[in-house]
A = this chain, B = another copy of it.
Amino acid sequence: MIIILKNGATDDQIDHVVERIEAMGLKAHLSKGTYRTVVGVIGDEEKIQTAPLKAIPGVEDAMPVMPAYKLASREAHPQPSVVEIGSGKAVTKIGGGHFGMIAGPCAIESGERLDEIAGEIKAAGANVLRGGAYKPRTSPYSFQGLGEEGLKILREVGDKHGMPVVTEAIDPRHVELIAEYTDMIQLGARNMQNFVLLTEVGMTKKPVLLKRGMAATVKDLLMSAEYVIANGTTEVVLCERGVKGFDNACRNMLDIAAVPQVQLMSHLPIIVDPSHATGRPELIPACALAAAACGADGVHIEVHNCPEEAMSDGPQALLPEQYKDLAAQIRKVAEAVGKSF
């Protein structure tokens, strides 16, 4: 921790800062500059990381030198993690060179429809099936998902096509149920800082797909991953899905630089969701290819065979034939940068 004092901090204030540090069992090292004094804190930073140092009179700023996301950090785990999703024959690896192709409709609408879509995307190269059973909708009047009935359908269709399955949890009271039916639990962008849900999902020890919140920095994303890991799960896949931008021609702004940033800061795999990032089918292919080229560990794409009848997010879904073409291109680009499928 480095503590920068205000220009004009008094000797009493400086002494008080030193006392507080020593009271926490650490040592203070003063560096008096021409204009300002800086205090270096020597010892175990964890003891001080959550203390309100900036509230001490005379303190201008306090900067940690160690990341607060200890378990998620690259320092803690220098090799990239590989997350295994599913069991038996249907196992998909993501990370460490393995490329995940997560695809499926936004919401599970019926067994028949999901079966059709799953058959087509599996043939195209998808290796994890997604579908929402509990939907976080911005309007209380919109379709909210089929609930447990949806989970059953997802499990059956996944098993039939030999694909591990992922679905979103939005309620801590449903987490256990979802864990029974699925291979991976998604935490959505709107719930990235729903710490109650993060804790509950972490306790299942299931692989987790954690999406970045719309106003979250990369560091915030890693802090949320830390929550999940600190509660039990060790297998977390992060997902960049666009953040809030000022150009409303797109639903969100895809922050592609988050991919190499995460890879510098953390050992966790990171994939990209161009469907939510753009909200526009005509922009999804280019963004998916960008993700594959920049080193992402996978892509998450929404596919529907009749978007105009979709019960959620139809306007941003790719058709199965569009997905097929795109999947072939993604494979080409990802292989060009050293990924395997």
Q: Which residues of A contact B (CB under 8 A)?
A: 2, 4, 7, 20, 29, 31-36, 38, 40-46, 49-50, 52-57, 63, 65-66, 68, 75, 136-143, 170-173, 190-191, 193-196, 199, 213-215, 217-220, 223-224, 226-227, 230-231, 243-250, 253-257, 259-261, 264, 277-278, 282-283, 285-287, 289-295, 307-310, 313-315, 317, 329, 332-333, 336-337
Evaluate contact between A38 and B31: CB separation under 8 angstroms: yes
Chain B nearest CB from A323 CB (Å) reads: 15
Kindly identify which residue among B56, B261, B315, B336 contacts A249, using a CB–CB cutoff of 8 Å: B261
Evaluate contact between A255 and B259: CB separation under 8 angstroms: no
Q: Which of A196, A248, A310 has the most CB of B within 10 A?
A: A196
Tell me if A's interface is mostly helix, strand, loop or mixed: mixed
Evaluate contact between A250 and B261: CB separation under 8 angstroms: yes
Evaluate contact between A227 and B196: CB separation under 8 angstroms: no
Residues of B within 8 A of A287 (CB): 256-257, 260, 294
Kindly identify which residue among B140, B191, B195, B220 contacts A230, using a CB–CB cutoff of 8 Å: B140
Residues of B within 8 A of A219 (CB): 249
CA distance A49 to B256 in the complex (A): 32
How many copies of this protein are present in the complex? 4
CA distance A4 to B61 in the complex (A): 14
Q: Which of A44, A248, A293 has the most CB of B within 10 A?
A: A293
Residue ID in chain B nearest A61 by CB atoms: B63
Residue ID in chain B nearest A198 by CB atoms: B140
Kindly identify which residue among B40, B215, B257, B315 contacts A283, using a CB–CB cutoff of 8 Å: B257
CA distance A35 to B65 in the complex (A): 7
Query: With A2-B4, A55-B310, A215-B213 known to touch, is A253 a contact of B250 (CB < 8 Å)?
Result: no
CA distance A38 to B172 in the complex (A): 44
Kindly identify which residue among B218, B224, B231, B247 contacts A255, using a CB–CB cutoff of 8 Å: B247
Evaluate contact between B257 and A277: CB separation under 8 angstroms: yes
CA distance A43 to B45 in the complex (A): 30
Query: With A137-B195, A336-B332 known to touch, is A257 a contact of B261 (CB < 8 Å)?
Result: no
Can you identify 11 A-B contacts, CB atoms within 8 angstroms?
A38-B38, A49-B139, A52-B309, A171-B196, A217-B247, A217-B249, A218-B247, A218-B249, A243-B253, A247-B255, A333-B333
CA distance A285 to B138 in the complex (A): 31
Residue ID in chain B nearest A20 by CB atoms: B308
Evaluate contact between A44 and B34: CB separation under 8 angstroms: yes
CA distance A219 to B249 in the complex (A): 9
Which are the 8 A-B pairs with shortest beta-carbon distances?
Answer: A52-B314, A293-B293, A260-B286, A215-B215, A55-B314, A55-B307, A54-B315, A290-B290
Residue ID in chain B nearest A188 by CB atoms: B193
